[in-house]
Structure 1
Amino acid sequence: MKIGLISDTHDNLEACQKACEAFFDEDVKIVLHAGDFVAPFIVPVFAKARLKLIAVYGNNDGEKIYLKERFEEAGFELHSGPYELKIGERSICMMHEPRCLESLIKAGTYDLILYGHTHKVDIYEEGTLVINPGEACGYLTGKPTCAVVELDDMSGRIVEL
């Protein structure tokens, strides 16, 4: 099973649409968003693409109650991070800011750790697959990106939008 990873969309609806198209092409069914959507404008984009969206708040997500309401109305999930979940047999931790990243890696509890905030692509394995999909918005780097992970073999790769 493939999942999509995205972060730091910062209201860039065109980038969200391109990410949804990439996820559709990859046969992704679940997307994990590591925060900084800023406003709920992305919700209809993911709803129209029929992708299940599970997200954590980022530091730029101000209207938390309103955002949560819009997510829940669409059947999506929005949590404070770090947030733990299981997809199939895989244990995943997602967060926006990587404050406790090293501790989580050392704990060895997770198959995948997703984070955002830095707007920089980062992908490596240290007993745990660790991915920052970069910035989907492309505002700082000029290179909008997301990621796709194959849960069967825990392989991940960055996708340029």
Structure 2
Amino acid sequence: MWLILSDSHDNLIKAKEIEKIIKQFKIEKIFHCGDFVAPFILPYFLKDNIDFYGVFGNNDGEKILLSKKSNENIKPGPYEIKLGKFKILIMHEPFTLESAKNSEMYDFIFFGHTHELVIEKYKNTLIINPGEASGWLTGKATVVILEPVSKKYQILNL
């Protein structure tokens, strides 16, 4: 199972709930679509034997330390990832979303920034904005878990 989240914005209460989800659903890969804010939230998401992929968001001020503490696994977006037969594009701001979607190059496109939950299938591409993991802006904190082979997903409220 994969976990997709975004806009955690230093909410440690919600981060602790995400830790429980990681264990409960036996998450193998985590994709964070940006706006961690500070490096002290990373231990909630960086776990032994779980692959972690992230991109910087517009509110990430301590980029050097975020990069260092994540073993360079947080990158500027859009960031293209190849995992076996899957091609994934992860970004924070959805500036290239339409062109990436129309390119039909990706199995999955993950993005954040808007704090709005979006799940859309476009031809063979599954597009996911998991909403905000922090709940600060909308009052609703969500993440998405995904079984990549079947492309079946579940929205989880924190």
TM range (shorter): over 0.9
Q: Tell me how far apart the structure 2 counterparts of residues 117 and 81 of structure 1 sit (CA, whole Å).
A: 12
Partners of 2:79 and 2:91 within 8 A in 1: yes
Equivalences, count: 157
In 2, Cα distance between equivalents of 1:57 and 1:30: 18
Give the aligned partner of residue 95 of structure 1: 91
Equivalent residue of 2:42, what SS?
Answer: helix
TM-score (normalizing by structure 2): 0.93
What is the letter of the counterpart of residue 119 of structure 2? I
Contact between 1:46 and 1:52, CA under 8 Å: does it hold in 2?
no
**Residue type matched to 1:23 in 2?**
I
| Match runs of 1:27-106 below 5 Å | 27-47=26-46, 51-72=50-71, 77-106=73-102
Distance 1:150 1:17, change over 3 A: same
Moved more, 55-64 or 37-46: 37-46
Asked whether the 8 Å contact 1:4–1:31 carries over to 2, the reply is: yes
2:130 corresponds to? 133
Q: Do the aligned residues in 2 keep the contact of 1:20 with 1:49 (CA within 8 Å)?
A: no
| Letter of the 1:22 counterpart | I
2:80 partner amino acid: E
Amino acid at match of 2:84: G
User: Is the contact made by 1:31 and 1:53 (CA closer than 8 Å) also made in structure 2?
Assistant: yes
**Structure 2: gaps spanning 5 or more residues:** none
In the TM superposition, what are the counterparts of 1:113-132 in structure 2 within 5 Å? 113-127=109-123, 128-132=125-129
Deviation of 1:155 (Å): 1.9
Question: What letter is aligned with 1:111?
Answer: D
Question: C-alpha distance in 1, partners of 2:77/2:64?
Answer: 15
Query: Could you tell me the TM-score, scaled by structure 1's length?
Result: 0.92
1:55–1:79: 8 Å Cα contact kept in structure 2?
Answer: yes
Question: Secondary structure in 1 aligned to 2:70?
Answer: helix
Quote the Cα distance in structure 2 between the aligned partners of 1:38 and 1:148: 22
Aligned to 2:148: 151
Post-superposition offset of 1:51: 3.5
Q: Is the 8 A contact 2:18 2:44 kept in 1?
A: no
Partners of 1:62 and 1:124 lie apart in 2 by: 30
Superposed displacement of residue 156, structure 1: 2.1
1:48, 1:99 → 2: CA distance?
A: 30
CA contact (8 A) 1:6 1:134 kept: yes
Aligned mates of 1:29, 1:107 — CA distance in 2 = 28
RMSD: 1.4
